[in-house]
Amino acid sequence: MRTGIYIRVSTDEQVKEGFSIRAQHERLNNFADSQDWSVVDYYIEEGVSAKDTKRQELNRLMKDIEDGKIDVVLVYRLDRLTRSVRDLYELLDFFERYNCKFKSATEVYDTTTAMGRLFITLVAALAQWERENLGERVRMGQERMIEEKQYPGGPPPFGYSYNKDTKQLEVDPVEAKVVEKMFDLYFDGFGEQRIADRLNEQGYKTRRGNNWRAKAVRDTLKRTLMTGEFSWGGNMYNDYTDAIIPKERFESAMKLRTSRRGAHPRTIRSSYPFSGFARCARCGAPMKGHSKHGRKKLDGTAPFYRTYICTRKRDGCTSKQINEESIDRELLKEIRKLSSEYREISEDKSLIKREDDHTQELKQLTRELNKVQGRRKKWQVAYAEGVISLDELRSHTEMDQEALSNLKMYISKLESKSMQLDYRSMANVLADFERNWIELDHMEKKSMLSMLIKSFDVDSDDLKPHKARERKVWVSNVEFH
């Protein structure tokens, strides 16, 4: 019979005795000679997994079978061809369709009988179970490594290096300075592409010596590992390694990212602190910053004014041009007023009682969450020690996962309610805002607004200002994040 010899090794199997390409080639040739079969071609896959049928040489073999060149496919062992029950069924149907037989040199199979097909299916099922079982063990091993603060594998993220002795991540001093610079530029109003451009201009390179790109900057800015926390498998591991960026600064950057979403890049970079926040109280359109020089004085100097004007002014909006100092002053007044109101509400005894009830319920749910997470680890240990089967582990894991999802949903809802009730904290935040505001420059004010305020309305009277009278300005409808 015309024979097609299929040989496959995955990367880790190349070093094992009996699975190397040379060993399979020799044994399969001897087997074909013993059966008086003529070898038409060899189909060799090196460093390729059998998890699916998307393999170049396997596809070439199937094409030759379609063309009627092959009468029998010969492999060293069934799992050389496939480890999937579904793929096995499809391949056997394909072989039968083109009247091609399948043989294993080390196992007794006969695909021409129902019993032979059943036996092959059972063995393939065992091969798939072994693969899934291995995957479970690998995941458990990785989780245990992370709990011991060891790195589970792969290139360490930018800013960190891998210590082969401790198997842990360590801060790379040179790369850490680049990460800190990224965050500094981000708080200065730079977007990811401009940060990448600035780093490239100043001669900073990626670990591989390439220029920085916006995506690489974005990935670094969003990576929680920069705070020393490690996210893996849906869980967060605190104090996993040393932090490059303080957690508070990282969270501020994430809030800033949220506030910038949808904003025009020019607004983000603008040195006008109220651009992107101030809205016209008359038509609802954004207000943009504008600067101009006044009339020259006798000494030759001219005053410099920073003002804001409605972006729909040319479309007929009747709002007036408003001085930046007036908006600054009136915004602080509104913040002071809101701070006082929140403080009064926070001292309401009925509200304090509701807040205490929420706090107690939140603590109870958090305890339940920790209990379920601890139970999951116990199931994994029990499986590793052979106390429970893989099916039992999966059943327990699925139930615990559902419990975790429900608990996290309840906690999230409760935290949202608690945040609405926490007027005392909001009053303190606004008081800090007021104290620090006058010390900040234009860009620092813009960053502070980004973290706290979504928008506010601005309006003024229609009278023309002059030396003896300023235009009256109102700030209202302050909306917080």
Among the ranges given (36-45, 55-64, 318-327, 414-423), the one the predictor scored with the smallest mean pLDDT: 414-423
pLDDT value of residue 453 = 87
> 420 pLDDT band (50/70/90 cuts)?
very low
> 120 pLDDT band (50/70/90 cuts)?
low
pLDDT value of residue 445 = 85
The answer, yes or no, to whether residue 225 has pLDDT greater than 60, is yes
Among the ranges given (11-20, 206-215, 403-412, 465-474), the one the predictor scored with the smallest mean pLDDT: 11-20
Helix (H, G, I), strand (E, B) or coil at 51: coil
Cα–Cα nearest to 68, from 28, 115, 100: 100
339 is catalytic: no
For the stretch 182-218, pLDDT in tens is: 999 988 878 889 899 999 999 999 999 999 999 999 9
Q: Which residue has the higher pLDDT, 158 or 261?
A: 158
> How far are the Cα atoms of 30, 57, 58, 391, 408 from residue 37, in angstroms, in the given order?
10, 21, 20, 44, 63
The answer, yes or no, to whether residue 59 has pLDDT greater than 50, is yes
- Given the residues 10, 20, 271, 455, the one annotated as active site: 10
Distance CA 171, CA 248 (A): 19
Share of the chain above pLDDT 70, in %: 82
The answer, yes or no, to whether residue 63 has pLDDT greater than 60, is yes
> 125 pLDDT band (50/70/90 cuts)?
low
The mean pLDDT of the chain is 82
pLDDT value of residue 351 = 55
Cα–Cα nearest to 422, from 359, 478, 360: 359
Distance CA 375, CA 371 (A): 6
- Mean pLDDT within 336-359: 71
Query: How many alpha carbons fall within 13 Å on the CB side of residue 412?
Result: 6
Which distant-in-sequence residues (6+ apart) come within 8 Å of 34 by Cβ? Answer: none
What is the DSSP code (8-state) at residue 19? T
306 sits in which H/E element: strand 304-310
pLDDT value of residue 130 = 63
Amino acid found at 431 = A
The answer, yes or no, to whether residue 407 has pLDDT greater than 50, is yes
pTM for this prediction: 0.44
Each domain of the chain, given as residue ranges in start order, spans: 2-143, 160-261, 324-481
Out of 88-97, 308-317, 403-412, the most confident range is 308-317
**Beta strands at 72-75 and 2-9: parallel, antiparallel or unpaired:** parallel
On whether the CB atoms of residues 271 and 248 are closer than 8 A, the answer is no
On whether the CB atoms of residues 237 and 230 are closer than 8 A, the answer is yes
Helix (H, G, I), strand (E, B) or coil at 401: helix
Amino acid found at 323 = N
For the stretch 356-390, pLDDT in tens is: 666 777 778 888 888 887 787 777 777 766 778 77
What's the CATH architecture for 160-261? Alpha-Beta Complex (3.90)
| Topology classification of domain 2-143 | Rossmann fold (3.40.50)
